[in-house]
Amino acid sequence: MVRKFPDGFLWGGATAANQYEGGWNEGGKGISVSDCARHHLDIDVQDYHAQNAITTKDIEEALKSQDDSLYPKRHGSDGYHHYKEDIKLFAEMGFKVYRMSIAWSRIFPNGDDEQPNEEGLKFYDDVFDECLKYGIEPLVTMSHYEPPLNIVLNYNGWASREVVDMFVKYVEVICERYKDKVKYWLTFNEVDSMIRHPYTTGGLVEDRFPGQNFQQVIFQAMHHQFVASALATKICHEKIPGSKVGCMLTKLTYYPYTCKPEDVLQAQQDMRSTYCYSDTQVFGEYPAYLLAKFKNEGIHIQMEEGDLDIMKKYPVDFVSFSYYSSSCVAKDDKGLKKTAANTNVAIKNPYIPSSDWGWQIDPIGLRVSLVDLYDRYRKPLFIVENGLGAKDELVDGTVDDQYRIDYFDAHFREMLNAIEIDGVDLMGYTSWGCIDLVSESTKQMSKRYGFIYVDCDDLGNGTYKRYKKKSFDWYKKVIETNGAWLFEGE
């Protein structure tokens, strides 16, 4: 019997406005936090703290700078001008779904504007029309590292309760405008990433909170996003009958470095450090262990009357997540070799290989993650980010990225095992960076993920021409045969 994925499995690919679109100051768009995110090509790509550190002074410098080569997200892959060509290529691969984000600052340039920016609304109308022309369903992230910079400078980002109301107004506008075009929505990309890069995710800059406990500020901002996420779910369901709203978490999968009970406990504790955010959005309430953390660490969340009711009343419909690699943890990791994984640093697993950026390649870890999440939430799952960031070389108009095909092949097999053997309900899969784009952690174009190569380097130089990699036709076959191609000839 030929093995293949369930009928209707939603194969596709993913981008995010801040890393793909460019056109940072076109079409009436306001400046977003990502437009001021400078790359640090002189800093170790695995030193995420340094790569993502930012001060008010850095922002002021960015606002004065005319040198866009320092701010790669200002140009991205220039999707703003190439999206029709790109969506045509996605359709050629047979995409059923295209995950993308709406840049909030294209709709409300400053976040607190009275009226939305019609040019921005029209742009996404055109993008969705292009998708639907090919029968591709948009899967839209409402916030993917693109808060308007104005909310940082004049409201201190998501720490301010007023931002909840601004976000709700933004969601009301986009749900009303696109109610006939978009039925799959995600609220916040990796809400847990607020801990690792508070500026990109929550518009928080530590030096703007002098004398305050910054952890407290981060969790307060996260509370505001939880309330906003629940209200966004409410709006979607009311305005778009049949719409499905998902949360989106960074699936960090931790293995105990040894079978020492202390290491097993450490791995369980570390897993909770990301589950607490999806627990909150799926169960609609703070888990007891997160409330215990707040109490033990003296973190006091300011809540308004009704917040907890709203969160309880409007939980998400499905759980989406990013998975790139697994990591090892130990109670005592002194002297053990560390490695990076998606803005996280953990002990290097000696049994599995690593990417050029140190991210460990563990397809079985994806199956472990799927089983974990499905057993925990009993809600449909959606892999909305997975892929291999690598140094691709364009030769004779293509890239021989067999390594990327091998990565996907191994991960797709484990996905099918999770469905067929472990009983996981998996809605679909969108590879991260289906086209080369600017990486989040290091702001590099040279960390390439796409089935499509974009001729642009880390300083923004290039023709921005698109080239199909070897994996383009391979993925097209996988989709065409709904996965049976993986087992061709076996």
73 binds ligand BGP (CB under 6 A): no
Cβ distance to ligand BGP smaller for residue 156 or 430: 430
Q: Going residue by residue from 197 to 236, which x/- string records binding to ligand BGP, judged by CB under 6 A?
A: ----------------------------------------
Question: For 326, phi and psi rounded to 5 degrees?
Answer: -105, 170
Tell me the CA end-to-end span of the chain in Å, nearest whole number.
11
Cβ distance to ligand BGP smaller for residue 225 or 250: 250
Region from 266-274, 361-369, 373-381, 433-441 binding ligand BGP, contact rule CB under 6 A: 433-441
**Spatial separation of the C-alpha atoms in residues 22 and 26, rounded to whole Å:** 9
141 binds ligand BGP (CB under 6 A): no
72 binds ligand BGP (CB under 6 A): no
Cβ distance to ligand BGP smaller for residue 163 or 434: 434
Residue 304 known to be catalytic: no
Residue 172 known to be catalytic: no
* Shortest CB 195 distance to ligand BGP, Å: 12
Region from 72-80, 204-212, 360-368, 432-440 binding ligand BGP, contact rule CB under 6 A: 432-440
Catalytic position from the list 21, 130, 137, 385: 385
Of 334, 345, 441, 312, nearest to 385 by C-alpha is: 441
* Shortest CB 144 distance to ligand BGP, Å: 6
The answer to whether 470 touches 408, Cβ cutoff 8 Å, is no
* Shortest CB 440 distance to ligand BGP, Å: 3
Q: Which amino acid is at 224?
A: H
Cβ distance to ligand BGP smaller for residue 82 or 251: 251
Both structure tokens of 114: 């009275």
Site for ligand BGP in 307-326 (CB under 6 A): 322
Choosing from 78, 137, 190, 401, the residue that interacts with ligand BGP (CB under 6 A) is 190
13 binds ligand BGP (CB under 6 A): no
Question: For 253, phi and psi rounded to 5 degrees?
Answer: -115, 115
Q: Which DSSP string corresponds to 274-316?
A: HHHHHHHHHHSS--HHHHHHHHHTT------TTHHHHHHHS--
Cβ distance to ligand BGP smaller for residue 148 or 389: 389
257 binds ligand BGP (CB under 6 A): no
Of 94, 107, 253, 82, nearest to 166 by C-alpha is: 107
Region from 73-81, 281-289, 308-316, 436-444 binding ligand BGP, contact rule CB under 6 A: 436-444
How many residues sit in the footprint of ligand BGP (CB under 6 A)? Answer: 14
Residue 272 to residues 121, 125, 255, 470: CA-CA distances in angstroms? 38, 39, 13, 39
**Spatial separation of the C-alpha atoms in residues 372 and 252, rounded to whole Å:** 11
Choosing from 257, 432, 472, 474, the residue that interacts with ligand BGP (CB under 6 A) is 432
Of 140, 139, 13, nearest to 429 by C-alpha is: 13
440 binds ligand BGP (CB under 6 A): yes
* Shortest CB 261 distance to ligand BGP, Å: 31
Quickly tell me which residue has 């847990």 as its tokens: 192
**Spatial separation of the C-alpha atoms in residues 73 and 177, rounded to whole Å:** 26
Choosing from 342, 360, 386, 446, the residue that interacts with ligand BGP (CB under 6 A) is 342
For the beta carbon of residue 461, count every other beta carbon within 10 angstroms: 12
Contacts of 248 (CB under 8 A, 6+ apart): 141, 186, 187, 188, 189, 190, 191, 320, 321, 322, 384
* Shortest CB 208 distance to ligand BGP, Å: 24
* Rg over CA atoms, the chain: 21
- Sign, CA dihedral 353-355-360-361, equals negative
**Spatial separation of the C-alpha atoms in residues 195 and 309, rounded to whole Å:** 25
253 binds ligand BGP (CB under 6 A): no
Region from 110-118, 344-352, 440-448, 479-487 binding ligand BGP, contact rule CB under 6 A: 440-448
Q: Going residue by residue from 367 to 386, which x/- string records binding to ligand BGP, judged by CB under 6 A?
A: ------------------x-
Region from 76-84, 347-355, 413-421, 434-442 binding ligand BGP, contact rule CB under 6 A: 434-442
447 binds ligand BGP (CB under 6 A): yes
Residue 317 burial (10 A CB sphere; 0-12, 13-18, 19+): middle
Instruction: Kindly state the helix (H) or strand (E) to which residue 453 belongs, with its residue range.
Output: strand 452-454
* Shortest CB 385 distance to ligand BGP, Å: 6
Choosing from 16, 54, 152, 290, the residue that interacts with ligand BGP (CB under 6 A) is 16
What is the pairing mode between strands 426-432 and 381-385? parallel
What is the pairing mode between strands 466-468 and 452-454? antiparallel
Catalytic position from the list 21, 130, 190, 414: 190
* Shortest CB 32 distance to ligand BGP, Å: 14
439 binds ligand BGP (CB under 6 A): yes
389 binds ligand BGP (CB under 6 A): yes
- Binding residues for ligand BGP (CB under 6 A): 16, 19, 189-190, 250, 322, 342, 385, 389, 432, 439-441, 447
Q: Give catalytic residues, as residue numbers.
A: 190, 385
